[in-house]
Chains A and B, each alone.
Chain A
Amino acid sequence: MAFARNPIVLAVAATLALLLVGSTFAIVPETSQAVVVRFGKVVGVYNPYRPNEVFGRTGAGLAVRVPFLDHIVWIDKRIQSVAMADQQVLSTDQRRLQVDAFARYRIVDAQRMYAAAGNEAGVTEALRPILASSLRAELGKRSFDSLLSPERGAVMNNIRANLNRIAQQYGAVVLDVRIMRTDLPDGTPLDSAFQRMRTAREQEAATIRAEGLRQAQIIRAQADADASKVYAASFGKDPQFYDFYRAMQSYRVSFSPKDGRETNMVLSPDNSYLRQFQGR
């Protein structure tokens, strides 16, 4: 047993053993599906997606394969997303919209996916243009207003159905499609929207001012009317006396010297004021 003690032999044996273990067993985590491929042919899938499964009771765990012949293709089991940014969409009323959208999908048939796309990036690349085109097609059937309304939900469902048809070929299921952004594109549409907002505000401002002036005028007129009423009630008791009373007040104000200016009066001796002056 001398050779067994030889560390070089031991080392080589251990290395081989580890290599063998490493290429026979693989740990399949909850987040991945493992497609075992032998000479380009799929021979099995570990931890495939099943609906409504509970983590802990999935197929995750140890995978066994034939060493050196099989290799494992890892496919994400989690929900993934494909996003699509800044798509210009034309609505039925010929208005341009800039749309961002995303679709969430999950690979439910790893074997089919491997056969159709080879890897995950392939699926994303395949879904992206389809998302864009079905988005354009679906939104193109709607008016601008309805894209902003609760009807959006129906639009999304249609797009999802479209997308799902394609996704199935890749062993994927689209969970939902959502519009993140529907905006007016930069340039003329945006500027004209701004212009509209601006003029709407200007109109509002002008209306408020005009209303203010109207109210003010009414208040003043009411005040004048109230004052007239008070005067009439009081002065109407004896109009003749009022005439005299007011005249006296008026003379005092009108003929009193003001600011150093003088008033010249030429009086006739027949004047009522001078009646006693004549000694009659």
Chain B
Amino acid sequence: MSRKNETTAPAASAMSGGGPWGSHDEDSTTRGGREGPRNPWTPPTREEQGRAGDRGPSALDELLRRARDSFGGGSGGAGEPNQRRIWLYLVAAALLIWVATTSWHNVGEKQRGVVSQLGRYSRTLGPGVNFTLPAPFERVQIIDVSEIRNIDLGSSGDGEKLVLTGDQNLLNLSYSVRWNISDARQYAFQIAEPEETIRQVADSAMRGVIANVDLTDAMGAGRKDIEQQVQERMQAILDGYGAGVLIQGIAINKADPPNAVINAFKEVTAAQQDYDTYINRANAYSQQLAAQSQGEAAAFDKVFEQYRLAPEVTRRRMYYEAMESVLSGVNKTIIEADGVTPYLPLPQIAPKAQQDSSLTVTGGGK
């Protein structure tokens, strides 16, 4: 403002013969035009007074004197029409700026402009350049309609938001609501605090739904269902208000047990792992045993087949083979049992193999 003043003031004063009015009027009319309701004839600001004060010891006296000079014919007839023409220009310019700034509206692709004519809703502007009547007569409220907005609710960071489930357990829940404006007019006029309202409605709907769901459902399988139900409920409530809001979807980001009991829940998971471990081990044992028994049975069957062909010989052969392999690797003592007291020098044997099993075979197989 002051920059503009400095550039135009010398020109104005040159043409009008040095009156301070030129600069002052130009200054205040443009301001009045730009800021609408402000009265252009309000007392000058301190800055302006200061400037006026620079011109003489008493600003008011000076002002009045000059005014008398210019209008009382002191400065001659030449200045007067010039001055008035400048005023006209200035007023016209101010009007032009006023109209241009308040009746030209760029409405973006995602936006709608709600036009109020003297306060009353008149129409909604579509995307593109739109013209309306200038400011106090028509006002435009530009609203972003198709932009999907996101409201995060529930636990954030460290804070826990606990929700009571149907089986009276607590759930640490965090979710977000995606919404956009379906009706710019309703949105603009119907609800005092739309965003806060959506927040409260979401909270209420979510808690209402969760209160009818079991903890396990809420944490796992039932999530999609819950999201769906909350969306429907919210939409119904908001439609009841005529809010002009469309709920696009609910997303449950987190549905966990509360931190205070999360270890117990982990313990359940661990138990499930243990369960699998036990079963796996038993199955391994089962497989092993089955293979072993089948192998042994098959081996016996093979031998038995041969045995049946020549029982006596086979039996004898097997006996000697077994004995051979057993007795070839052991210390043997052969004693004529009758009439001899068998004395077993245990101390001699013992040091050599203290833990060895000692056996006395008397009598024998067939």
Which residues of A approach B to under 8 Å, CB–CB? 2, 5-8, 11-12, 14-15, 18, 22, 27-31, 47, 55-56, 58, 60-62, 76-81, 83, 102, 104, 144-145, 148-150, 152, 175-176, 178-184, 190, 193-194, 197-202, 204-206, 208-209, 211-213, 215-220, 222-224, 226-228, 230-231, 233-235, 237-238, 241-242, 244-245, 248-249, 251-252, 255-257, 261-274
Q: In the complex, A149→B211 CA distance in Å? A: 6
Give the interface centre of A2, A266, A271 by most chain B CB atoms within 10 Å: A266
Among the listed B211, B311, B332, B333, which residue makes an inter-chain contact with A152, where contact means beta carbons less than 8 Å apart? B211
Is the CB of B220 closer than 8 A to any CB of chain A?
no
Closest to A202 in B: B264
Among residues 326 to 341 in chain B, which have CB atoms less than 8 Å away from a CB atom of chain A?
A: 326-327, 329-337
Known A29-B116, A180-B200, A267-B361: A237·B304 in contact at CB below 8 Å: yes
Query: Are B192 and A78 in contact (CB-based, < 8 A)?
Result: yes
Contact residues of A: prevailing secondary structure: helix
Contact with A along B289-325 (1 / 0, CB 8 A): 1101110111011011001100100010011111101
Contact residues in A for B270 (Cβ distance below 8 Å): 205
13 contacts between A and B (CB under 8 A): A15-B39, A178-B200, A180-B204, A197-B169, A204-B268, A209-B274, A220-B285, A228-B293, A230-B290, A251-B323, A257-B329, A266-B342, A267-B364
Is the CB of B362 closer than 8 A to any CB of chain A?
yes
Query: Are A268 and B185 in contact (CB-based, < 8 A)?
Result: no
Among the listed A206, A231, A252, which residue makes an inter-chain contact with B296, where contact means beta carbons less than 8 Å apart? A231
Query: Are A212 and B279 in contact (CB-based, < 8 A)?
Result: yes
Known A58-B120, A79-B191: A230·B164 in contact at CB below 8 Å: no
Using a Cβ–Cβ cut-off of 8 Å, how many residues does chain B contribute to the interface with A? 119
Among the listed B258, B289, B319, which residue makes an inter-chain contact with A224, where contact means beta carbons less than 8 Å apart? B289
Among the listed B264, B290, B334, B344, which residue makes an inter-chain contact with A268, where contact means beta carbons less than 8 Å apart? B334
Sorted nearest first, the 5 A-B pairs with minimum C-beta distance are A212-B275, A223-B286, A234-B297, A227-B293, A201-B264
Q: How far apart are B218's CB and chain A's nearest CB, in angstroms?
A: 13
Contact residues in B for A272 (Cβ distance below 8 Å): 319, 364-366
Query: Are A56 and B275 in contact (CB-based, < 8 A)?
Result: no
Query: Are B359 and A219 in contact (CB-based, < 8 A)?
Result: no
Contact with A along B232-243 (1 / 0, CB 8 A): 000001001100
Among the listed B162, B186, B191, B335, which residue makes an inter-chain contact with A266, where contact means beta carbons less than 8 Å apart? B335
Closest to B322 in A: A248
Q: In the complex, A217→B320 CA distance in Å? A: 42
Query: Are A263 and B355 in contact (CB-based, < 8 A)?
Result: no
Known A176-B240, A193-B168, A269-B336: A27·B304 in contact at CB below 8 Å: no
14 extra A-B contacts, CB within 8 A, seeds A31-B189, A263-B356, A266-B332: A30-B189, A55-B186, A78-B192, A200-B169, A201-B261, A223-B282, A238-B308, A244-B315, A248-B318, A248-B319, A256-B326, A263-B358, A273-B327, A274-B364
Q: How far apart are B337's CB and chain A's nearest CB, in angstroms?
A: 5
Is the CB of B67 closer than 8 A to any CB of chain A?
yes
Contact residues in B for A264 (Cβ distance below 8 Å): 330-333, 349, 353, 356, 358-359
Query: Are A61 and B118 in contact (CB-based, < 8 A)?
Result: yes
Is the CB of B277 closer than 8 A to any CB of chain A?
yes
Known A184-B164, A235-B297, A266-B361: A149·B170 in contact at CB below 8 Å: no
